[in-house]
Amino acid sequence: MCQTKWWWIPTHALEAYVSTKATDYTDALAEKAVQLVFANLETLYLDPADEEARDRVQNASCMAGMAFTNAGLGIIHSLSHAFGGTFHVPHGRVNSLLLTAVMEYNANLGGKIIDRVCERYARLASLLHLPARTAREGTLSLIQAIRKLKRSIGIENGIHELGVDRDAFDEALSRMARSAMADRCTPTNPRQPTETELECIYRKSF
Ligand SMILES: [Zn+2]
């Protein structure tokens, strides 16, 4: 059984945490939600009858919801709304497939890193006891841990594994990117994208 339905929890928490509207209150909720997800999601996946793990994951869900309701979200959701509406894939599943590509974009890992974003990701990495001696190292650790968690609960490696046709995807790209650009979640993303950059993230996630 694939628990992609739970993937809106870490996505909600991670987007709220780096949102331009994050506050001390939403940070506290997002931090706890991420810790609970990492400590309990795989356990729940392996044993869906584990009531304690289920309880903790439900708490994480509620906390992540409180965080994003107050801090807003980011372009994972903008891209997810446009993609899900076009290809009719459930929200949590699409989020899980876009998550790490958006984190890499937000952090600008391919160039000069964006310190204020990487420091946020590194703070979460520290809370998860991952290597985070620098902001870059912490960001890479967090991304790696997310990939590992995704694998451990059977989440696909990319959009192509959903059976989405490549030609149909390419044909929809510019329309989806335009829609994502205008999405209400885009203004609170920590890095303001161009439509071309949004298309690149889609391609990378394919
Ligand atoms: Zn969501």
- For 17-64, how does the pLDDT look when each residue is reduced to its tens digit (9 = 90+)? 999 999 999 999 999 999 999 999 999 999 999 999 999 999 999 999
pLDDT of residue 5: 66
pLDDT reported for residue 1: 41
Mean pLDDT to the nearest integer, 78-101: 93
Q: Is the pLDDT of residue 8 over 90?
A: no
How large a percentage of the chain has pLDDT more than 90?
88
pLDDT of 4 strictly over 70? no
**Could you tell me the distance, in angstroms and rounded to a whole number, from the CA of residue 68 to the centre of ligand 1?**
9
Burial 67-87 (b: 16+ CB within 10 A, else e): bbeebbbbbbbbbbbbbbebb
Residue 6 has pLDDT above 80, yes or no: no
Spacing, Cα 133 to ligand 1 middle (Å): 31
The 3-state DSSP class for residue 147 equals: helix
User: How far is the centre of ligand 1, averaged over its atoms, from the C-alpha of 165 (Å)?
Assistant: 24
21's tokens: 């509207």
Q: Which two tokens stand for residue 159?
A: 């959009």
The chain-wide mean pLDDT, for the chain, equals 94
In this prediction, residue 104 has a pLDDT band, given cuts at 50, 70 and 90, of very high
| CA of residue 92 to ligand 1 center, whole Å | 7
Q: Please give the distance, rounded to the nearest whole angstrom, from the Cα atom of residue 24 to the centre of ligand 1.
A: 21
- Ligand 1 center–CA 78 separation, angstroms: 10
Say what the pLDDT of residue 66 is.
Answer: 97
* Residue 97 structure tokens: 């497939």
Q: How far is the CA of 52 from the centre of ligand 1 (A)?
A: 24
**CATH T-level fold of 4-205:** Dehydroquinate synthase-like, alpha domain (1.20.1090)
Measured in Å, how far apart are the chain's first and last C-alpha atoms? 22
Which residue do the tokens 């620098």 mark? 134
Question: How far apart are the CA of 8 and the centre of ligand 1, in A?
Answer: 5
Could you list which residues have their CB under 5 Å from ion ligand 1? 8
What average pLDDT does range 129-139 have in this prediction? 97
pLDDT at 101 over 60: yes
Contacts of 6 (CB under 8 A, 6+ apart): 37, 41, 44, 57, 61, 92, 153
- Residue 92 or residue 192, greater confidence: 192
Q: Is the pLDDT of residue 3 over 80?
A: no
Distance of CA 43 from the midpoint of ligand 1 (Å): 22
pLDDT tops 60 at residue 87 = yes
